[in-house]
Structure formats: structure tokens, C-alpha cells
Amino acid sequence: MSDSRYTPPKVWEPKESGGKFASINRPVAGPTHEKALPVGKHPFQLYSLATPNGVKAGVMFEELLALGKDAEYDAWLINIGEGDQFGSGFVEVNPNSKIPALMDYSGDKPLRVFESGSILLHLAEKFGAFLPSDTATRVETLNWLFWQMGSAPYLGGGFGHFYAYAPEKLEYPIDRFTMETKRQLDVLDRRLAESRYLAGDEYTIADIANWSWYGQLALGRLYDAAEFLQVESYTHVQRWAKEIDARPAVQRGRMVNRTFGEPSSQLHERHDASDFDTRTQDKLGG
């Protein structure tokens, strides 16, 4: 453990903290600049980036379309590293300045939908898909959906930040959040030992939400931490993660608003189903 000691002041004042996201961290909300959001031709306008939370929305739309639902959407890139989330138009849709955010123009009046869990629940109820109708399975779906909402901040903002993004490696927070991340993986592994999917035999929004974080972690896609966390030891999570990863809609959803990885896996904007074949970055010369 480090020998350094920190005594908090009586009143905290912001200062440059370093780290990957230091330039966009601030202690107040609200917009930093005027910028209207683009609006495309479809009933649903998604503003996002392919972080784990953003992947949830892309996967959900692609899964709905695969079922034949009338869920066509435009997906616009919000580059959080450049502060797009603090534009006035985005803040009007999500006052919390986090992706993903959605505008639903399909009804009598436009609806803003923010927070990834709210987007999943809104779309599931609107289209009658991926949310079981019987009470017991519906409740179990919501149990695991909200489990993810409460748990993943310890994985992302806790483990991910201190392991991968903090300006220096500190033993105490890395140990603290590693222990919690492994405990969460064990929670999932025990559940998936007794159930094909999180809510039972049916694939639901609970799986979409949790796979986007824990499935991708188990597949070695987050924080370059697979060996450190021994993710291969969670055999039931591995089985579940690989099964979901093989779904064509999931493969497409992961590409939406993606700006990293192989150019063939990046679809910065999505406005038509054909874009997956014609407008990935390798096709555009990116």
C-alpha cells in the first residue's frame, strides 16, 4: 500500500485530477455550449456511443428489428471524449449528460427517454418483446435489470477507472473494486448455473443489459482485464456470454456508434439496415 496520506479539507474544491476523462469531468450539470441535435427520418432517434451502456440500446433496436417490429431508428454519434454530451440539445434530452439518450417520435407527442435501463424498459413495453408477460418471470427480469443498474457502477466507475484509467495505479481501490467485481461475477455465475438466461429460459432485457457489461467483460473486451480477473473461471457466465454474443442482432448492435476496434466493426452512424454492409469505417476508408 502507498505511504502517501490524504487529509480531506473542510471544504472540497475542484482541481485537475489527471486520468483519461479528466478533461470532461466537472462538478456541475447543464450545457457547456449551444448545439442542436440532428434528427433523421425514423420514429426513433438514438444519441449514443458504443460503451457498454450504449451497446444496450443498439442491441435492443437490432433485436426488435430482427423480430419484425416497426422499430426503425437513426443512431447519431455522441463523442463523450469531445464533450458532445454537454451540448444544449443533448442536455435537453438527458439533463444528466450521459449516453445513451433517445427521442421517441412514434406517439402523439415526442418523448425523451434517458438512462439505458429506462430505454430498454420503454422499448420492451412499447413493442411487447423481451419482457415476459407472466408476473413471476417479469419480476425476475426486472430484478436482474435493476441489479445491473446498481452493480455495474462498481465495475465501470470503480474497477475500470482505477485499473485502466486513473493517472496512477493505487493498490487499495484496485483491490477493493476487484473484489467487488469478482463477487458480482460469482453472483451471475451462480444464477446462470441454474438457468439458461437470467430470468429463466427466455432471453430478456435483463440479458441485454447484463451482457453489455458482464458478458463483454467475460469475453475479454473490457479494460484488458480478463487474465487479471480470471474470467475464464466463471464457466456459466462464459456459456451465457458466448451464446448471446453469437446472436446476429447482438453483433450488429455492438457496431452501432462504435469508434474503436477494427474499422470493419465500426458503424459511426446508423440510418438504415444496409449501413452495416456499406457504411462501416473500412468501407468509408476510416
Nearest 5°: CA angle at 78, between 116 and 142?
5
Domain 44-127, second-level architecture: 3-Layer(aba) Sandwich (3.40)
The Cβ of residue 90 has, within 10 Å, a number of other Cβ atoms equal to 24
Q: How far apart are CA 286 and CA 283, in angstroms?
A: 8
**Lowest mean pLDDT across 16-30, 63-77, 225-239, 240-254:** 16-30
Once rounded to an integer, what is the mean pLDDT over residues 209-220?
98
Give pLDDT, residue 154: 98
Average pLDDT, the chain: 96
What pLDDT digit, counting tens, does each position of 23-76 carry? 788 899 999 999 999 999 999 999 999 999 999 999 999 999 999 999 999 999
Rounded average pLDDT over 214-238: 98
Q: Is the pLDDT of residue 165 over 60?
A: yes
Rounded to 10 deg, the angle between the 135-153 and 171-192 helix axes is: 160
- Provide the terminal-to-terminal Cα distance of the chain, rounded to the nearest Å: 44
Order of strands across the sheet with 111-114? Answer: 73-77, 44-48, 101-104, 111-114
Cell numbers 471524449 correspond to what residue? Answer: 81
- Strand intervals (E) in the chain: 44-48, 73-77, 101-104, 111-114
Q: What is the pLDDT of residue 152?
A: 97
What are the tens digits of pLDDT across the range 116-140? 999 999 999 999 999 999 999 999 9
What percentage of residues in the chain have a pLDDT greater than 70?
A: 98
What is the distance between the alpha carbons of residues 3 and 137, in angstroms, rounded to a whole number? 51
pLDDT beyond 60 at 1:
no
Name residue 102's beta-bridge partners: 46, 113
Give the right CATH number for 135-253 from 1.20.1050.10, 1.10.3720.10, 2.40.160.20, 3.40.50.1460: 1.20.1050.10
Please write the tens of the pLDDT for every residue from 67-113.
999 999 999 999 999 999 999 999 999 999 999 999 999 999 999 99
What band does 236 get if pLDDT is binned at 50, 70 and 90?
A: very high
What was the pLDDT predicted at 223? 97
pLDDT category at 180 given cuts 50, 70, 90 is very high
What per-residue confidence (pLDDT) applies to 6? 87
Q: Which residues contact 266 (CB under 8 A, 6 or more apart)?
A: 255, 258, 259, 260, 280, 281, 282, 286
**Rounded to an integer, what distance in angstroms lies between the CA atom of residue 137 and that of residue 115?**
23
Domain residue spans of the chain? 44-127, 135-253
**The pLDDT of residue 286:** 59
The angle at the Cα of 205, spanning 233 to 102, to the nearest 5 degrees, equals 120
Looking at residue 3, its pLDDT comes to 54
